[in-house]
């Protein structure tokens, strides 16, 4: 089925297809049967204490001393939910881009990369996430120091197979508030008519963020959107591959199959 590019200029069609293809690689992790353990798990309670009326299955597992199974089940559930959330936001962002609604596109890609990514990395790469998640009423799953964030990004980028993206690349592209073109600053401008707290994204006089964009401005926004999203999507897909492979303990055929599928995508857009 041919893509509907709507108002998207032809010069961006290949980049759009590339980003959409990478997002579809995330979708496979959600819907393909070979990864079904991520969303469907069975619990054999034969010979174990009965579940009390109204007791949540996760509370039950902790009560009977099955903490390891509890942690695996909960981790799978969180990862699965995050991947669905990431998928929805990125697909809608790409759709909005074809309709020349760039302020919507920038607003939508904020959540997957500024927030969901942090939770995804914390749930997999740290040991204290579940304890805080389960017991701390005030736990903020996305609040993290710069040093801890850089450590997580270092762990995640060291797992990449096909790129030389570094922790500093991801930090600067997404989180660095000192750079005017970081995603956190650009998306702030997309979400707010006026931004005054950070000198890197000041609105300026006689202006409202994105509201008075000219044709040239929109062209620049498209260039930023697709150039940045291409890199971030490659990083995100490879990190997801690493996490899913290890979380589900998949066999050695996992990576060759995923990389073969992705190489077809790369060749199409060269």
Residue 203 pLDDT > 70, yes or no?
A: no
Looking at residue 125, its pLDDT comes to 95
Q: Could you give the CA distance from residue 243 to residue 235 in angstroms, rounded to a whole number?
A: 12
Our CA dihedral for 157, 162, 163, 167, rounded to 10 degrees, sits at: 0
Burial class of 66 by CB neighbour count within 10 A (0 to 12, 13 to 18, 19+): middle
pLDDT in tens, 51-71: 888 888 888 888 888 888 889
Confidence of residue 208 (pLDDT cuts 50, 70, 90): low
Q: Is 199 within the bounds of a domain?
A: yes
Dihedral over Cα of 134, 89, 125, 33: its sign: positive
Residue 85: strand, helix, or coil: helix
* pLDDT, tens digit, 9 for 90 and up, residues 219-229: 999 999 999 99
* Whole-prediction pTM: 0.91
Q: Can you read off the two tokens belonging to residue 190?
A: 């997309």
pLDDT at 269: 66
Residue with tokens 């619990």, as numbered in its chain: 43
What gap in Å lies between CA 46 and CA 24, rounded to an integer?
A: 39
DSSP-assigned letters across all residues of 53-67: TT--HHHHHHHTT-H
In a domain, 4, yes or no: no
Question: 200 lies in a domain?
Answer: yes
Does residue 1 fall inside a structural domain?
no
Write the DSSP assignment of 223-262 as a string of letters: HHHHHHHHHHHHHHHHHHHHHHHHHTT--TTHHHHHHHHH
Other C-beta atoms lying within 10 Å of the C-beta of residue 196: 10
Residue with tokens 């589900």: 248
Mean pLDDT of the chain: 90
Domain assignment present for residue 5? The answer is: no
**Predicted pLDDT of residue 233:** 96
Q: How many domains does the chain have?
A: 1
Q: How far apart are CA 81 and CA 76, in angstroms?
A: 9
Q: Does the pLDDT value for residue 172 go beyond 90? A: yes
Q: Is residue 2 part of a domain?
A: no
**Distance between the two ends of the chain, CA-based, in angstroms?**
21
Q: What is the pLDDT of residues 222-258, one digit of tens each?
A: 999 999 999 999 999 999 999 999 999 999 889 998 9
| Residue 6 belongs to a domain | no
Query: Are 94 and 230 spatial neighbours (Cβ–Cβ below 8 Å)?
Result: no
pLDDT band of residue 1 (cuts 50, 70, 90) is very low
Could you report the per-residue pLDDT of 176-195, keeping only the tens digit for each?
999 989 999 999 888 877 77
Structure-block tokens of residue 243: 């996490």
User: In terms of residue numbers, what domain contains 199?
Assistant: 11-268
- Sign of the torsion formed by the C-alpha atoms of 32, 35, 37 and 39: negative
Tell me the C-alpha distance between 22 and 265, whole Å. 8
pLDDT of 14-32, one tens digit each? 999 999 999 999 999 999 9
pLDDT value, residue 136: 86
Give the residue-averaged pLDDT of 122-143: 91
* Residue 45 neighbours by CB distance under 10 Å: 13
119 versus 2: the higher-pLDDT residue is 119
**According to the model, what pLDDT value does residue 261 have?**
81
Residue 82 domain flag: yes
């Amino acid at each position: 089925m041919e893509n509907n590019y709507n108002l998207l200029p032809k010069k961006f069609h290949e980049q759009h297809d590339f980003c959409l293809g990478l997002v579809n690689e995330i979708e496979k992790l959600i819907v393909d049967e070979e990864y079904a353990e991520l969303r469907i798990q069975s619990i054999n309670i034969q010979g174990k204490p009965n579940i009390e009326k109204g007791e949540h299955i996760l509370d039950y597992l902790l009560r009977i001393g099955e903490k390891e199974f509890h942690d695996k089940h909960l981790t799978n559930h969180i990862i699965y939910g995050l991947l669905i959330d990431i998928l929805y936001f990125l697909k809608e962002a790409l759709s909005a881009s074809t309709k020349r609604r760039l302020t919507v596109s920038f607003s939508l890609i904020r959540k997957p990369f500024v927030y969901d990514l942090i939770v995804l990395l914390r749930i997999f790469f740290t040991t204290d996430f579940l304890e805080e998640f389960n017991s701390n009423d005030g736990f903020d799953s996305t609040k993290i120091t710069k040093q801890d964030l850089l450590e997580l990004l270092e762990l995640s980028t060291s797992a990449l197979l096909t790129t030389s993206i570094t922790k500093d690349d991801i930090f600067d592209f997404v989180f660095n508030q000192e750079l005017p073109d970081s995603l956190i600053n650009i998306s702030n401008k997309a979400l707010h008519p006026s931004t005054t707290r950070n000198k890197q994204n000041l609105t300026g006089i006689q202006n409202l963020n994105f509201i008075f964009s000219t044709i040239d401005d929109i062209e620049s926004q498209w260039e930023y959107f697709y150039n940045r999203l291409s890199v971030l999507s490659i990083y995100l897909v490879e990190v997801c591959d690493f996490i899913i492979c290890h979380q589900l303990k998949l066999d050695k055929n996992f990576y060759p199959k995923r990389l073969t599928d992705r190489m077809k995508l790369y060749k199409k857009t060269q």
